[in-house]
Homo-oligomer: A and B are copies of this chain.
């Protein structure tokens, strides 16, 4: 992933209890970090992050995670998390994230997280709402590939 495509950046420090028996951040903790970035991103673009909606069975579900581990992260490392919505399709959208060691600027990891929008009544995929598309378009401009909205009949 190309860091120059990302506008949104937050920073956090590795806490001691996130270190595993090998003295490095456990591979599952990376998912926590990427999620912290995504939740903040949604807040910052003005999407109402309902604590009961994002990633939930009711409205938006995470259906796929891809993580590339580039470098270990260690206790007290300061990490930058870059997040962006890179694509919106008819009923799904992609979050991309980069985890970067702030001191060395080395890439620690990369993530692609695919989400699907569900109709809360039927739990079936439904088009990503126009309002959400507008919020992403306003924030990302042309960096996000947004496919046209299709009415499912």
Contacts and interface: CB of A to CB of B under 8 A. Distances in A.
Interface size class of A (residues with CB under 8 A): 35 or more
A19 B54 CA distance: 14
A64 B66 contact: yes
B66 A22 contact: no
A35 B30 CA distance: 14
A112 B69 CA distance: 13
B32 A57 contact: no
Nearest to A53: B22
A149 interface: no
The count of identical subunits is 4
Please indicate which of the listed interface residues A21, A32, A69, A72 has the most CB atoms of chain B within 10 Å of its own CB: A21
B68 A63 contact: yes
Interface in A27-68: 27-29, 31-32, 35-36, 39, 51-52, 55-58, 61-68
A69 to B, nearest CB: 5
Given A63-B68, A64-B68, A67-B64, A39 B16 contact: yes
Contact of A16 (B23, B35, B62): B35
